[in-house]
């Protein structure tokens, strides 16, 4: 999930080939003025690039809650994943649009912060929204289908079409809406069968009014830690990275040819493992300045928190406990690194202790290969089981089922149905095989709510996040906290197959692989926006940008991984 709304990823770690791309003139300048005030952005990047001493200036604040404020779905407890606004967008007239995802709506503010109303979005579940050309595009679940809804800026649905990803034997999970290298609007999905992301074409650039191609930009990898940015064959910038684990993205250009690029770099095992820098280039290709988006300051993570105005000014949405701030980023000629990769080997992050991995000292410390871990994780994903109505039981009379919230994928089913994977069960620790056997024995599948401890593994079957990792590591059932007893802290840029990103007391994910932009993970979770289901609760495979993990998750490996 790129951080920037219209970002397209041009290069990942160690990519050697030259990625030739063409920037698209994106029609922010032609957005409909129907409802929005004709106000210009209040800042110009030309005013402050070199003299800026503060990283940003607060333009205005947005309250929390109510008609004009941002919505936080849940907060105020230490063990939760709060949800808030998902994306910041800016129209050419300087109107700020905040995708208030938790409330299924867009909030509109003038450039001076005056609230201009809301736009309610028509779907039971909204995944993402983006401005593309003159209009809004929304991906939402409506009438049992995921659809791309095309809306005018005043909220009128112009058309709505089902989204159809390429056929796959795996689960397909939605990542983000974005504009690709050709200027087309695409939906990035993660395909568990491919263990990679795929772009599903939604709208061709040729169908968008006034879309035009801009100057070609090339990113050339000079060596493992140096990239060159070329425009029309001329090198306009050379960027040195501290680690090989980095990504370089270029955003659609403005009409005058100015454009922005974003570099992310995995650094170390600190609370902020990624250095994240926006770079602004003028129409002449000269670097106008750089800014570091204050992503780590967010009270609640915003997947797409940075946007640019029509003049190239960069803005960010920063969430706060009492609301949110819209800030203008100050461009500077140079930035000092926030974190440099440690030269210390990953294993030296904790005291060097010889671990007996024979299983004799501790049955949970037995040698486990990374390939065995991947095989086990994929066994969950490739599982397929026909579930009866009893298995899916929504209203069961027993004490154990009393508190049960049926997994989302069961809702509305009226007959025996085949489902992939293994469903989420709070407290669950089932392997695919034991889950299937339990279903044959008429037990009940999954519970997305909290389960009475006495009911785990008895009347219900499934797996939760830490139970899934425990099974993949082939150890006794552990929790997000107790997994650390069998783990060694590692550098984030050393994460490899079978390692974990853990947020004790909250959630844990199993890493497949990483790149400069984020991590591919397996996880047992709830509310996954998967093709074919409004939401899916169970083991899935997804791609997360590094911003999702900032300040929360830490990287670990199993002590007896080989």
- Footprint of another protein on this chain (CB under 8 A)? 73-74, 77-81, 83, 363, 405, 424, 426-427, 429, 448-450, 452-458, 464-467, 470, 476-482, 485, 505-507, 523-528
Report which DSSP code applies to 165: P
Nearer to another protein, 132 or 452 (CB): 452
CB of 181 to another protein, least distance (A): 31
* CA-closest candidate to residue 547, choices 252, 286, 275, 282: 275
Token pair of 217 as six digits:
């930009």
Beta-carbon contacts of 552 under 8 Å, excluding residues fewer than 6 positions away, are 503, 506
- Rounded CA gap, 558 and 502, in Å? 12
Nearer to another protein, 346 or 461 (CB): 461
* CA-closest candidate to residue 377, choices 536, 541, 259: 541
Torsion angle of the four alpha carbons 241, 243, 245, 249, in this order, in degrees rounded to the nearest 10: -10
Nearer to another protein, 311 or 523 (CB): 523
CB of 427 to another protein, least distance (A): 5
* Strand 500-503 with 507-514, pairing: antiparallel
* Strand 314-320 with 185-191, pairing: unpaired
Nearer to another protein, 50 or 454 (CB): 454
Report which DSSP code applies to 309: -
CB of 356 to another protein, least distance (A): 16
Name the residue with tokens 């049960």.
404
Token pair of 450 as six digits:
């909290």
Nearer to another protein, 308 or 478 (CB): 478
CB of 99 to another protein, least distance (A): 17
CB of 485 to another protein, least distance (A): 8
Beta-carbon contacts of 440 under 8 Å, excluding residues fewer than 6 positions away, are none
Cα 458–chain centre separation: 35
Nearer to another protein, 274 or 455 (CB): 455
Nearer to another protein, 225 or 482 (CB): 482
Report yes or no: 179 and 26 within 8 Å, Cβ to Cβ: yes
CB of 298 to another protein, least distance (A): 18
CB of 293 to another protein, least distance (A): 24
Nearer to another protein, 348 or 481 (CB): 481
CB of 545 to another protein, least distance (A): 15
Torsion angle of the four alpha carbons 78, 82, 87, 93, in this order, in degrees rounded to the nearest 10: -80
**HSE, side-chain direction, 13 A CA sphere, residue 319:** 28
């Amino acid at each position: 999930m790129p951080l920037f709304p219209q970002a397209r990823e041009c290069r990942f770690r160690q990519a050697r080939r030259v990625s030739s791309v063409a920037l698209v003139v994106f029609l922010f300048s032609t957005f409909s003025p129907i409802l929005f005030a004709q106000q210009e952005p209040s800042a110009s990047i030309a005013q402050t690039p070199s003299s800026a001493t503060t990283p940003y200036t607060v333009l205005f604040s947005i309250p929390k809650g109510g008609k004009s404020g941002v919505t936080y779905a849940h907060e105020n407890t230490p063990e939760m994943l709060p949800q808030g606004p998902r994306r910041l967008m800016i129209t050419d007239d300087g109107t700020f649009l905040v995708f208030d995802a938790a409330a299924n709506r867009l909030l509109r503010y003038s450039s001076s912060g005056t609230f201009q109303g809301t736009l309610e979005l028509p779907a039971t579940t909204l995944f993402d929204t983006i401005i593309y050309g003159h209009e809004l595009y929304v991906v939402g679940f409506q009438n049992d289908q995921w659809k791309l809804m095309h809306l005018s800026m005043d909220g009128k649905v112009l058309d709505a079409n089902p989204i159809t990803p390429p056929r796959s034997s795996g689960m397909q999970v939605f990542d983000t809406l974005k504009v690709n290298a050709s200027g087309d609007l695409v939906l990035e999905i993660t395909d568990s069968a491919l263990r990679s992301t795929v772009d599903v074409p939604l709208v061709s650039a040729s169908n968008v009014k006034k879309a035009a191609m801009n100057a070609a930009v090339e990113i050339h990898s000079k060596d493992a830690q140096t990239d060159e940015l070329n425009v029309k064959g001329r090198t306009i910038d050379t960027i040195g990275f501290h680690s090989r684990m980095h990504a370089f993205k270029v955003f659609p250009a403005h009409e005058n040819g100015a454009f922005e690029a974003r570099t992310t770099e995995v650094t170390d095992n600190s609370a902020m493992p990624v250095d994240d820098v926006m770079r602004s280039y003028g129409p002449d290709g000269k670097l106008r300045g750089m800014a570091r988006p204050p992503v780590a300051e967010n009270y609640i993570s915003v997947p797409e928190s940075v946007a640019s105005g029509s003049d190239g000014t960069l803005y960010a949405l920063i969430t706060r406990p009492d609301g949110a701030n819209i800030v203008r980023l100050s461009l500077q000629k140079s930035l000092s690194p926030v974190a440099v990769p440690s030269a210390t080997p990953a294993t030296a992050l904790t005291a060097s202790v010889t671990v007996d991995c024979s299983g004799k000292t501790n049955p949970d410390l037995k040698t486990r290969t990374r390939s065995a871990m991947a095989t086990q994780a994929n066994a969950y994903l490739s599982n397929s089981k026909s579930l009866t109505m009893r298995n899916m039981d929504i209203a069961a009379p027993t004490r154990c089922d009393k508190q049960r919230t049926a997994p989302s994928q069961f809702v509305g089913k009226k007959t025996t149905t085949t489902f992939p994977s293994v469903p989420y069960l709070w407290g669950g620790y089932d392997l695919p095989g034991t889950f299937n056997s339990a279903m044959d024995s008429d037990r009940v599948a999954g519970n997305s709510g909290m389960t009475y401890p006495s009911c785990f593994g008895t009347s219900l079957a499934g797996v939760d996040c830490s139970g899934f990792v425990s099974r993949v590591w082939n150890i006794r059932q552990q929790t997000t906290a107790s997994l650390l007893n069998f783990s060694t802290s590692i550098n984030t840029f050393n994460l490899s197959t079978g390692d974990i990103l853990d947020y004790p007391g909250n959630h844990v994910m199993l890493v497949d692989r990483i790149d400069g932009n984020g991590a591919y993970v397996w996880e047992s979770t709830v509310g996954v926006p998967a093709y074919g289901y409004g939401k899916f609760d169970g083991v899935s495979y997804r791609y997360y940008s590094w911003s999702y993990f900032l300040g929360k998750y830490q990287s670990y490996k199993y002590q007896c991984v080989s």
